[in-house]
Amino acid sequence: MRPRIPASLRRLKPFLAGVALGLVLLATVGVALAEPAPPTPYDALLKANVRDGVVNYPGFEGNPAFRAYLDALGRPGAPAGRGERLAHYINAYNALAIEGILEGLSPSTLFGRVRYFKFKDWPLDGRAINLYDLEHKVIRPLNEPRIHFAIVCASKSCPPLRSEAYATAAIDAQLDDQARRFVNDPSRNRFDAAARVAHLSEIFSWFDDDFRAAAGSTQRFIARYVADSAVARGLAEDAFKVEFVPYDWNLNGIAPRH
């Protein structure tokens, strides 16, 4: 036989149930509204340690502000809008790519690339994810092909790392600037207008589908950003023969001290 509950306690049951429900909702809202990691300390480090895309890795090594930013990236919370997501995840990718180098990983060899991109999980937004999945399952689904000129995997043929963090309010201008810098960089892409030959970064081969989806063809996409007007006209007509430049996986800066 169950003990009889006093009437006074029975009257409290609806109140207690409401309190419990409120606590659950508060916890849920707290997780949903958690702010993504602010990039301010990371921005200062980039300004101090990146010049024309050349990264001074010792400047990040053992730096408490960089460690605090990485720790903040790992906490639960995710941005809401398109601009917030792009800035947050591009910054996260680039910071984790730097940390991979500091931890002794390197994409300079085939096996090294497997370890660097796929075998190492990083804490991000309260979960674990590797660089490969961050790029292909989180960033690429945002349907923004200019990200391929912004995420930097610590190699010379990668896009140049900016000397600033990506910011929500400036994200489109920053991505346009990255696209123009990358397309017109002769160490990455060269255009022979007379012979109608484009010597392109392998990035344009690897992510051809993304550029086609945005502009109808990779050449037409490049035509939006190339500075030479004659080259732009030819690319807009898909008139160039394309040859791909071998990728240089060597480190894009000064190696860490370890």
* 204 shares its domain with 173: no
Contact 95, 138 (CB under 8 A): no
Contact 178, 149 (CB under 8 A): yes
pLDDT at 249 over 50: yes
127 located within any domain: yes
Number of domains in the chain: 2
Which stretches within 2-81 are classed as H helix? 7-32, 40-49, 64-74
Contact 256, 57 (CB under 8 A): yes
- Which helix (H) or strand (E) covers residue 190, if one does? strand 190-192
d(CA 178, CA 172): 10
pLDDT class for 39, splitting at 50, 70, 90? confident
pLDDT class for 254, splitting at 50, 70, 90? very high
pLDDT (tens digit, 9 = 90+) per residue, 168-183?
999 999 999 999 999 9
6 located within any domain: no
pLDDT class for 17, splitting at 50, 70, 90? very low
Residue 36: the pLDDT is 65
Residue 10: the pLDDT is 47
pLDDT at 149 over 80: yes
* 225 shares its domain with 132: no
d(CA 47, CA 199): 31
Residue 13: the pLDDT is 45
* 145 shares its domain with 194: no
* 197 shares its domain with 170: no
158 located within any domain: yes
Contact 100, 72 (CB under 8 A): no
d(CA 35, CA 177): 27
9 located within any domain: no
d(CA 8, CA 179): 70
* 85 shares its domain with 149: yes
Q: What is the mean pLDDT of residues 99-116?
A: 98
pLDDT at 224 over 50: yes
**3-class SS at 5?**
coil
Residue-averaged pLDDT of the chain: 89
Residue 185: the pLDDT is 98
Q: What is the mean pLDDT of residues 235-245?
A: 98
Residue 15: the pLDDT is 39
15 located within any domain: no
d(CA 7, CA 1): 18
Q: What is the DSSP string of 89-151?
A: HHHHHHHHHHHHHHTT--SSSHHHHHIIIII--EEETTEEE-HHHIIIIIIGGG--GGGGGT-
Which has the higher per-residue pLDDT, 47 or 19?
Answer: 47
pLDDT at 188 over 60: yes
Which range among 28-37, 138-147, 174-183 shows the weakest confidence by mean pLDDT?
28-37
Dihedral (C-alpha) 82, 87, 92, 98: value to the nearest 10 degrees? 150
Residue 41 Cα to chain centre, angstroms: 17
Q: What is the mean pLDDT of residues 106-120?
A: 98
* 123 shares its domain with 220: no
Residue 116: the pLDDT is 98
d(CA 43, CA 81): 21
pLDDT at 62 over 60: yes
* 166 shares its domain with 50: yes
- pTM metric for this prediction: 0.86
* 98 shares its domain with 173: yes
Dihedral (C-alpha) 13, 18, 24, 25: value to the nearest 10 degrees? 170
Q: What is the mean pLDDT of residues 156-168?
A: 98
Domain containing 240 equals 190-245
Residue 35: the pLDDT is 57
Residue 45: the pLDDT is 97
